[in-house]
Chains A and B, each alone.
Chain A
Amino acid sequence: MIKTKRTLRFNIVEKSIVQNKNFLYTIVSYSIIFVIFVNLISLRSPLIGLMTSVIYSMINSVFLGNAFFGRENAFFRLIFGVLLLIMLLGFVGWLIMTIYNLDVIRFTLVLIITTTLSSMSNRRMKHKNAAY
């Protein structure tokens, strides 16, 4: 019973993120980036860093997992989403680093680009599914 409730709760959260009504979760993700940026330049708290990173990763992993592995079950969708997020962060970071460097400003840019791409992929796939 408890397990079913837990699974349901995750499914509700996931569904809500995927639906992304009025870009709510995209905006949350941008706000999280702002908090990460502020934390990095002034507070330097690992606790804030951990919390914001978890939320950021969760939102964007769900976006990516649903966009590219929508047919897998929830667990594998999340796992693939996390892996894709790592790859996307790595690729954008690598590109920016080789073009110039990866200081705090450009690091923030990496997060913004990643969120934008994840959100766009999710939206595109949602429209595609709606069309069918």
Chain B
Amino acid sequence: MPPINQGSAKLLHISEILYLSFIVLSFCLLIASRTGEAHTVWQVLHPAFIPTLFVTTFLLLTILFASEKTTHKLLFIIAHSVLLHSLFSIIFPGGDLSGQQMVLGSTRRVFDNTFPLGLSKLPTSAIPVFIFEMLKGTNLQAALTTIFARMLSIDILYVHLFYIPVLWGVFVPIASFLTTKAIGGSEKVSVLSSLLVSAFPYTIYFGAISVPNSLGFIFSFYSLYFMLKYLSSNDSKTAYCIAVFSFFSFLSHYLTGVMSFSLLLLALSFKAYASEKGSSVTAKISLMVSFLFSASLLPISFIYLGFFGPYAKSVFTLDKLYELPLEEIVGLSLLGELIYSFDLKTIFLLTVGPVLAFLYMIYQLYSLKRNPTAKLRANVYFLFAAFLIVLIDYRILKLFMSGLPLNEERLWVFQDFIAAQFAILAIYAVFVSLETFLKAKYLPFKTLVSLKTLSKGNVLCVLSLLLASNILIPALLGGWITFSLSVAYPQVAPLQTTWYELKTVKYIDENTAEKYVVIGDVWTVFAGERFVGIHNPRAYYFGEYDKTGYDLFFNMTQNPSPQWMLLAMNYSNTTVAYFIVTQSRLGAEGFQNVVARAIQNKQLSVVIVPQVPFEKLYVFSYRKG
């Protein structure tokens, strides 16, 4: 770190204080945007948030370009990263309406000690199913969130909502920093890469939802870093680190685990190849074979997943090639899902980073070819191969497979993790060339006063270069990161769990002494599982995809009568049944019709939930006997 004079140090401190104030302001604006009834964050986000975020990011970039301690820079980036990933958790009282509330549904059961697993319940006839159930990512996440909630003595809902945004915000920028350093990036570039990883919309999104896949991504990013470290050192401890992080990645989520292990195989092959003195044909062939094997591991593993239970029926197929028109096939293989109903802005933001990174990788490979003794050569080659594996696997899953248990776009997070390092290396290379050019041409003119001696054209040139290197690049990067938010957080979504749905399910739970069952639509189920979990024998909510629950709700809306409620009580072995209908979900007309018919049926009693108006929601109950 070069020594800085007092004036610069003072300016730096002012920027840091300003930056921290803007971070606090941004969090306050998010809290001010908190709402109990909205579809997307954009509907309710405070109008000052985006400009504030842009200024915050710009300030952060000026600090990153200045001579500050790396650890301090990383701490500032961590604060920024946590902010970017907290929009769902702060704005919506129940978090985003995605897979995360289902995960919370099963975690709640662990927290309430009504978890149905345990070796004592081992079904001897279905050991593969048990293994699958045990290794499911939700288990590790449930264990972790339960432990945190008990340690902090707070409800699991809050831990669940902030658990991934905080972990991701802290650990992903650090992993990005370490990875960039491992491929030869300077301290400054590595710090910038830890910020730039937030410019990729998929990484922002997965860092904002508390699902096992996100946890798996964090571990696999560290496993990737240790692979690079393993390639450039002879420390045996690094190999253990890769194994441990890959195992945790697998324990967190199947996709990240298999991906980590396939990259691990590739890293081992690279190491073996590098240890051979002369690069013989056999060594090259074995490296090629291991590349192909690593690339095919993920698609093949999806086929074998079916062995562990009826969860996935993935198959290789050529149906898509036969059925889809040629232009769609070409579009899918080039841009993937982006060809469907995405605008140009979204396509640009999602592809600019990876394309920039890919081009820079090719440039680096070209440079390294002329310099075979270069240090960290293997690391760049390895990351390029890993990047290719992700590209190939995505296309295989997208075009040649069907029945996958997850959407293929999740692989883009791996692509972004690798791309972030090379994208920033490319940007920094441009920045450095500008600076070198400036220094070489105008070195004697260090002060603005000395510019007087230059011709008008040269003054303009110096000033524009200064503007480009000191203002334009931070502004562009800041704008890119801010703009990525608009793509990362959905612009269209169903109505998020509302405050009155949450209040109602909480009220029912607090005021029902007996075992009860709730008949409601899928949105009610989502609200219910936040408080009591799914299939809880004390407070029974049908699963999100439970046909019985859906049929019972449908029958109740058609003919609200106790017979369906009795059926539900018998099914769930409970003594009280509730039927919940919501105006915003059924529509005004449908809601009024159902409510009118239910009120006419004198056997059903109306439950009054304090502060919840009848125009929004009705609860009916029926007691057995």
Contact = CB atoms under 8 A, between A and B. Distances in A.
A94 interface: yes
Contact of B143 (A3, A40, A53, A94): A94
Given A46-B152, A97-B139, A102 B146 contact: yes
A55 to B, nearest CB: 11
A98 B147 contact: no
Contacts of B241: 68
B119 interface: yes
Contacts of B144: 86, 89-90, 93
A46 B174 contact: no
A49 B153 contact: yes
Interface string B117-155: 111100000000000001000011011101110111110
Interface stretch (A21-29, A103-111, A115-123): A103-111
B489 interface: no
B117 A53 contact: no
Contacts of B69: 3
B74 A75 contact: yes
Contacts of B147: 89-90, 93, 102, 107, 110-111
A13 interface: no
B251 interface: yes
Contact of B115 (A46, A76, A102): A102
Contacts of A87: 219, 244, 248
B110 interface: yes
Given A46-B153, A49-B153, A107-B150, A100 B119 contact: yes
Contact of B167 (A39, A86, A93, A111): A86
Contact residues of B: prevailing secondary structure: helix
A8 interface: no
A68 B237 CA distance: 9
Most buried by A among B151, B219, B248: B151
Contact of B120 (A50, A56, A100): A100
B237 to A, nearest CB: 8
Interface in A27-69: 36, 39-40, 43-46, 48-50, 52-53, 56, 68
A94 B139 contact: yes
A12 interface: no
B113 interface: yes
Nearest to B171: A83
B14 to A, nearest CB: 17
B146 A49 contact: no
Contacts of B120: 100
Contacts of A101: 110, 113, 115, 118
Interface in A7-27: none
B433 interface: no
Contact of A48 (B143, B153, B222): B153
Interface residues of A, number: 40
A49 B152 contact: yes
Interface in B208-251: 219, 222, 237, 241, 244, 248, 251
B341 interface: no
Contacts of A39: 153
A99 interface: yes
A22 to B, nearest CB: 26
A45 B134 CA distance: 33
B275 interface: no
Contacts of A97: 110, 115, 117, 139, 142-143, 146
B447 interface: no
B110 A94 contact: no
B71 interface: yes
A90 B140 contact: yes
Given A98-B117, A100-B118, A90 B143 contact: yes
A110 B277 CA distance: 48
A83 B219 CA distance: 9
Contacts of B111: 102
A96 B115 CA distance: 12
Given A86-B144, A98-B139, A99-B119, A75 B71 contact: yes
B16 to A, nearest CB: 12
A68 B140 CA distance: 23
B119 A40 contact: no
Interface in B97-124: 110-111, 113, 115, 117-120
Nearest to A96: B143
Nearest to A94: B143
B166 to A, nearest CB: 11
A132 to B, nearest CB: 15
B75 to A, nearest CB: 9
Contacts of A56: 151
Interface string B142-185: 11101110111110000000000001001100100010000000
Contacts of B71: 73, 75
Nearest to B251: A94
Contact of B118 (A44, A46, A98): A98
A115 B340 CA distance: 51
Contacts of B113: 101-103
Given A94-B140, A94-B143, A102-B143, A36 B151 contact: yes
A98 B121 CA distance: 10
B34 to A, nearest CB: 19
Nearest to B177: A76
Contacts of B178: 76
A88 to B, nearest CB: 10
B257 to A, nearest CB: 14
A30 to B, nearest CB: 15
A12 to B, nearest CB: 17
Given A83-B171, A97-B117, A107 B146 contact: yes
Nearest to B78: A79
Contact of A99 (B118, B146, B170, B174): B118
23 contacts: A36-B150, A40-B150, A49-B151, A49-B152, A49-B153, A53-B152, A73-B71, A75-B74, A79-B170, A91-B251, A94-B143, A97-B117, A97-B139, A97-B146, A99-B118, A99-B119, A100-B118, A101-B110, A101-B113, A102-B111, A107-B147, A107-B150, A111-B147
In the A-B complex, the 7 residue pairs with the closest CB atoms: A93-B143, A49-B153, A49-B152, A75-B71, A94-B143, A90-B144, A53-B151
Given A82-B170, A98-B119, 17 more contacts: A3-B69, A40-B150, A44-B153, A49-B152, A49-B153, A50-B152, A53-B152, A89-B147, A91-B140, A93-B143, A94-B139, A98-B139, A99-B118, A100-B120, A101-B113, A101-B115, A107-B150
